[in-house]
Amino acid sequence: GCPGMWDNITCWKPASVGEIVFVKCPALFRFIISEDGWEVDNLGQTHAGDYDLLESTAQSPLGDISRNCTEEGWSEPFPHYYDACGFDENETESDNQDYYYLSVKALYTVGYSTSLVSLTTAMVILCRFRKLHCTRNFIHMNLFVSFILRAISVFIKDGVLYAEQDGNHCFISTVECKAVMVFFHYCVMSNYFWLFIEGLYLFTLLVETFFPERRYFYWYTIIGWGTPTICVTVWAVLRLHFDDTGCWDMNDNTALWWVIKGPVVGSIMVS
């Protein structure tokens, strides 16, 4: 009867005619209420701060909102967001927040673009002159490639996830955006593991005076590109089966997130 809907505040899942749907106040309001004088703990429970508690349970912060699915469609929310969550749509500072996030995005876009140009120039120099071809520089080149891929993955991720500012982010769950997130995490992991290979190479120089560098380089390649492939693949499979929500850009499930974060932290500690 009533299709799923995003009302610019929260998500309403599909319902049949005559059904009443209840949702909780979005977690965002916990921070808004906290700034306005409420003290909110980690469990989302509210305590009196500088303001007295509202007498009506229906008006208490972080309450429930309901909509009725009628033959004409969704009814208006009851109680209103302002009454149930202490939120007034007309008093938000969305313009300032949008300006802030756009500024941050512009800043890191310029940074990644500068890095991309510099790294590409370095790659051309290292590839062009044969006298620079050696195991040490081959490792540097793979590290540069990982940085280049990381920058490119950020641009692709922004293009897919944030192409439409007013997009329905509740129900975006396409194969395309999930593949982009898998590629992004792979590039980040590869970046960290090639930094680890840099340290491992220096370690082998100190431990062994003579060793077949070319044979070692094969293992470096397997570790630098292969380990991220295994970790990200495992993460994607687990995410698909146990936490297949949204576009995989949020990592609320801590256990699954450690499949990627754990090896990264380990490589940093060993380095």
Mean pLDDT of all residues belonging to the chain: 79
pLDDT in tens, 151-203: 999 999 888 887 665 555 555 678 888 899 999 999 999 999 999 999 998 88
> Sheet harboring 20-24: ordered strands across?
20-24, 64-70, 73-74
What's the rounded mean pLDDT across residues 241-264?
87
Tokens of 208: 């062994």
pLDDT of residue 61: 45
Specify the pairing of strand 46-47 against strand 39-40. antiparallel
pLDDT band at 145 (very low <50, low <70, confident <90, very high): very high
**What is this structure's pTM?**
0.64
Query: Which residues, other chains included, contact 201 with Cβ-Cβ below 8 Å and sequence gap of 6+?
Result: 135, 136, 139, 216, 220
Query: Which residues, other chains included, contact 248 with Cβ-Cβ below 8 Å and sequence gap of 6+?
Result: 177, 178, 181, 182, 239
109 pLDDT above the threshold of 80 = yes
pLDDT of residue 53: 30
Number of Cβ within 10 Å of residue 181's Cβ equals: 23
Domains and CATH numbers, the chain: 1-32+60-90 (4.10.1240.10), 93-270 (1.20.1070.10)
